[in-house]
Structure 1
Amino acid sequence: MIKYPFLKKGATIGVTAPSSGVKAELHPMLKQTCESMERKGYKVVCGETVWTQEKAKSASAKKRANEFMEMMQNENIDIIIPPWGGELLIEILEEIDFEKINKKWVLGYSDTSVLLLAITLNTGIATAHGTNLVDLRGEYSDETTAMWETVLSTETEASVIQYSSSKYQKKWQHDNPSPCVFHLTEDTYWKTISTGNVKIKGRLLGGCIDVIRHLIGTPYGRVQEFRKKHFDSDPLIWYLENCELTTTDLRRSLVQMKLAGWFDHCSGILFGRSAANHPVDDYTVEDVYKELADELQIPIVYDIDCGHVPPQITFIHGAFAEVEVENGKGVVIQHFKP
């Protein structure tokens, strides 16, 4: 059974940095984010790790894990949202007591997706892959990003529907602040490897492939065990996004996931837009997707709203999803099925 947290009105947000903290020169941006969330009716509690960053991490693995666990066990904190991702979250996993993880939402993406996937695989508690906290600092959010609140306020046994964005952001413009943070200039078009429309159903798992691939072979990445324990009869839908991998490194990572059994009982794979998919020796990302589709004999959808080229849909690990793609437009219905 999957256990779903619930986001209540006026919730208290715990902000901790299990990966990267915020350097001193960017503290005003984080303060702006906290003020923005408080104007929206939330209370915000920031931990010590949020304000520090040295040698590619916010603090020692033990300190990061301890602060996360303190917020997880604090009854006055309702949801945990890190400021953003980073590089070395994987260091904290062995310091976390998964038996003491409480049923509250953890929301984020990038390096945070290591923690999200590990929590769901090891506890059966749903986690949320979506916006980072600092991307909520604007006066308002675009329609796709703003759905995080609706999704996390969905009751167990209920359903929530999300649509592909109308436009996406091609590149970050931090020197040109926008009232909604993102500069959405390019037309969104979800693509498929097969011709025609795609409809797939299954339980969602995923994250940033650069980092979640490192859970393979560890006690925190037992995907087959998790599936058999929690929903043996349902297939998986993977959603993956590439932050920095070349096409050959992406291919190696996908083959490793396949060999590790992560794609067993999989009904389809969704890939987010990426600025990183640089060809190697004319080997393109479309080649990678086509080879994988041929090997697994499943539909593959790409350039979806997920990851480092925003905006992004809020995907819930463990939820039962119906995904439909037609003429470049996507619909994702998530059922909060135990």
Structure 2
Amino acid sequence: MAIIYPEFNSPVTIGVTAPSSGLYKEQYSLLERAIEKMESKGFTVKVGDTAWMQYKAKSAPATTRAAELNSMLQDDTIDFIFPPWGGELLIEILEHIQFEKIKPKWLLGYSDTSVLLLAITLKTGIATAHGNNIIDLRGRLTDPTTAMWEKVLFTKKGEEVIQYSSEKFQLEWQHNNETDYVFHLTEPTKWKTVKNDPMYVKGRLLGGCIDVIRHLIGTPYGDVRAFQKQFINNEPIIWYLENCELQTTDLRRTLVQMKLAGWFDNCSAILFGRSPANQPKEDYHVVDVYMELAEELGVPIGYDIDCGHMPPQITFVNGAYAEVRIYTNGGMVTQRFIE
């Protein structure tokens, strides 16, 4: 078996469902504007009921969310599933997803959505895309880094797509003060490495928001060893990880657990996204965490890359073959859609 890359056949229909959080009524305009933007680009958009719902930290009960998601995953008229945003409790729906009935189609998102993305790729070998949410695309303009989601998803099997580090990133969210790009891109981007040396690595991409994907460890949805053996012929993995809320000691505990669970076996590199968290505990800083992990695993580690809750984001495809370069003036990610 091998990695399966979904392919678009024009015209493309987007299914919007909320497997984690939906929207409160006062937030509806965010999604409505995003839908208008997608339709102006030629996409057809079908919106599920859960997108317009939110109660007790979730859009709906787990079985309701799973039923709507299953329906879209099995619907031949829907080419692409694009949740409004992440949330907190997507993990509740995993036991209700009919993985064996999923028809290959793109899923794109991040934050809590990365639980779903990683679980689908590990269980089925279907490539999934980690990047922006549909609500991030409601602006009049789209910055060049974010805009690459479209080129990535339109890449065909056997082709490659190259993305470069952004010029600037957003330091903090200002929801009541949007720009034409939605984001406030004010801070110069600089990808870094633990050893302050240029980095060039190759491998298969896997990753997501570490706060939530860590909860797949030890479950039927997080069997990385089986995925390596079954779908990628034991090729090395490049992990991309982003931290939403963990302070440094919790991040460290999580990375040790991942190591003990074998997630870093046959790993060629780890990439960490910029983070609004990473708060030090006493004098224990996030760079200390990165340095310890690099020494223990003997692999290169890059950080402050374009991934996660400090936009903009590179679109990373779980399962794709990648070559990642970090150099003095920037970085680049080449992804090849090969089996």
TM over 0.5: yes
1:315 positional shift: 0.2
Partner in structure 1 of residue 307 of structure 2: 306
Contact 1:273 1:306 in 2 (8 A): yes
Q: After the TM superposition, which residues 143-158 of structure 1 pair with which residues of structure 2 at under 5 Å, given as runs?
A: 143-158=144-159
Partner in structure 2 of residue 177 of structure 1: 178
Distance (Å, rounded) in 2 between the aligned partners of 1:147 and 1:155: 15
Partner in structure 2 of residue 293 of structure 1: 294
Distance (Å, rounded) in 2 between the aligned partners of 1:61 and 1:168: 35
Partner in structure 2 of residue 208 of structure 1: 209
CA-atom RMSD, angstroms? 0.8
Partner in structure 1 of residue 278 of structure 2: 277
Partner in structure 1 of residue 335 of structure 2: 334
After the TM superposition, which parts of structure 1 deviate over 6 Å for at least 4 consecutive aligned residues?
none
Distance (Å, rounded) in 2 between the aligned partners of 1:233 and 1:71: 31
Distance (Å, rounded) in 2 between the aligned partners of 1:6 and 1:136: 21
Partner in structure 1 of residue 29 of structure 2: 28
What letter matches 1:295 in structure 2?
E
Contact 1:7 1:149 in 2 (8 A): no
Distance (Å, rounded) in 2 between the aligned partners of 1:206 and 1:25: 32
Q: Normalising by structure 1, report the TM-score.
A: 0.99
Partner in structure 2 of residue 260 of structure 1: 261
1:7 positional shift: 3.0
Partner in structure 1 of residue 81 of structure 2: 80
Partner in structure 2 of residue 227 of structure 1: 228
Q: After the TM superposition, which residues 73-152 of structure 1 pair with which residues of structure 2 at under 5 Å, given as runs?
A: 73-152=74-153
Distance (Å, rounded) in 2 between the aligned partners of 1:82 and 1:219: 23
Distance (Å, rounded) in 2 between the aligned partners of 1:21 and 1:101: 22
Partner in structure 1 of residue 62 of structure 2: 61
Partner in structure 1 of residue 13 of structure 2: 12
1:212 positional shift: 0.1
1:138 positional shift: 0.7
Gaps of 5+ in 1: none
Distance (Å, rounded) in 2 between the aligned partners of 1:328 and 1:19: 37
Distance (Å, rounded) in 2 between the aligned partners of 1:8 and 1:201: 30
Distance (Å, rounded) in 2 between the aligned partners of 1:189 and 1:283: 22
Distance (Å, rounded) in 2 between the aligned partners of 1:196 and 1:28: 46
Distance (Å, rounded) in 2 between the aligned partners of 1:70 and 1:233: 33
Distance (Å, rounded) in 1 between the aligned partners of 2:293 and 2:233: 24
Aligned with 2:185: secondary structure? coil
The percent identity for this pair of structures is 64
CA deviations 1:59-98 (Å, max 9, x no partner) are: 0100000000111111111100000000000000000010
Q: Normalising by structure 2, report the TM-score.
A: 0.99
**Number of residues paired by the alignment?**
338
Distance (Å, rounded) in 2 between the aligned partners of 1:155 and 1:32: 29
1:154 positional shift: 0.5
1:194 positional shift: 1.3
What letter matches 1:39 in structure 2?
S
What letter matches 1:312 in structure 2?
Q
Distance (Å, rounded) in 2 between the aligned partners of 1:205 and 1:83: 22
CA deviations 1:251-270 (Å, max 9, x no partner) are: 00000000000000000000
What letter matches 1:279 in structure 2?
P
Contact 1:8 1:153 in 2 (8 A): no
Distance (Å, rounded) in 1 between the aligned partners of 2:234 and 2:115: 25
1:179 positional shift: 1.1
Distance (Å, rounded) in 2 between the aligned partners of 1:90 and 1:313: 24
Partner in structure 1 of residue 249 of structure 2: 248
Partner in structure 1 of residue 50 of structure 2: 49
Aligned with 2:196: secondary structure? coil
1:232 positional shift: 2.1
Partner in structure 2 of residue 186 of structure 1: 187
Contact 1:198 1:299 in 2 (8 A): yes
CA deviations 1:147-177 (Å, max 9, x no partner) are: 0000001110110000000000111111112
1:328 positional shift: 4.4
Distance (Å, rounded) in 1 between the aligned partners of 2:132 and 2:12: 17
Greater shift, 223-232 or 110-119, is seen at 223-232
- 1:218 counterpart = 2:210: no
Distance (Å, rounded) in 2 between the aligned partners of 1:182 and 1:46: 24
Gaps of 5+ in 2: none
